[in-house]
Amino acid sequence: MELRTAVKRLAITLSAGLSVLALTTTPASAGHDGFCDYAIEDGNVCLYRDANFSGGMLDFTRSDRNYTSAADVFFVYPSEPGTVNVNDQVSSIVNYEGYCEWWFYTDAEYGGVGFKMLNINQSYNGLGSYNDALSSHYKWTGWTECTNGSTG
């Protein structure tokens, strides 16, 4: 058996043992499902624990006023929620929303200081002074909250 094939099969076997297989070919459009989905008006913003989009990820479709909720944990494997809460732990961001913009805050309830991420800003591989500091975000159309998402 070729080495890379063996490596792949090993990875797949380990994944199966951990119940982290992601075999489906169906769309994953909701937030908090471990997949960072692009859409024009219903896309995700995806928060990564480490810089350069690694270390675990959590995807959101809508606003989140407090990252300390029990559902706000990084996915380490596809479809497998981890145990680390995202509050004050985010170090890089991917924006897969094509219409609305995202506003990020250092405190819950959209408080403290923050920055916005427009729909033309697809990713930040590091957050500078906001590293490990974010605690809430708001999805904004430019005049009202962007609530077209389904969950998350």
Partner 1 sequence: MRTPLKKAATAMALAAAAFTAQFVSAAPASAHPGADGYCGYREVCVYRLANYIDMWADFFNADNDFSDDNLWFWDGVTYVRGSEMADNRASSVQNFDTGCSAILWQLKEAGGINQVVYPSAALPNLANQGFDNKASSLSWSC
The residues facing 58 across adjacent strands are 47
Question: Cα(56)–Cα(103) distance, rounded to whole angstroms?
Answer: 21
141: left (phi over 0), alpha (psi -120 to 50) or beta: alpha
68 is an interface residue for partner 1 by CB under 8 A:
no
29 is an interface residue for partner 1 by CB under 8 A:
yes
Strands (E), 42-91: 44-50, 54-60, 73-77, 80-85
Site string for partner 1, 48-67 (x = CB under 8 A): x---xxxxxx-x--------
86 is an interface residue for partner 1 by CB under 8 A:
no
Choose, by CB under 8 A, the member of 30, 84, 85, 98 that binds partner 1. Answer: 98
Least distance to partner 1, CB of residue 108, Å:
25
75 is an interface residue for partner 1 by CB under 8 A:
yes
112 is an interface residue for partner 1 by CB under 8 A:
no
Q: CA-CA-CA-CA torsion for 25, 27, 33, 39, nearest 10 degrees?
A: 140
45 is an interface residue for partner 1 by CB under 8 A:
no
Strand order in the sheet with 44-50: 80-85, 73-77, 54-60, 44-50, 92-96, 123-124
Site string for partner 1, 3-22 (x = CB under 8 A): -xx-xx--xx-xx----xxx
Residue matched to tokens 């990713």 = 123
90 is an interface residue for partner 1 by CB under 8 A:
no
* Interface contacts to partner 1, rule CB under 8 A: 2, 4-5, 7-8, 11-12, 14-15, 20-23, 25-29, 34-40, 46, 48, 52-57, 59, 75-78, 94, 96, 98, 121-125
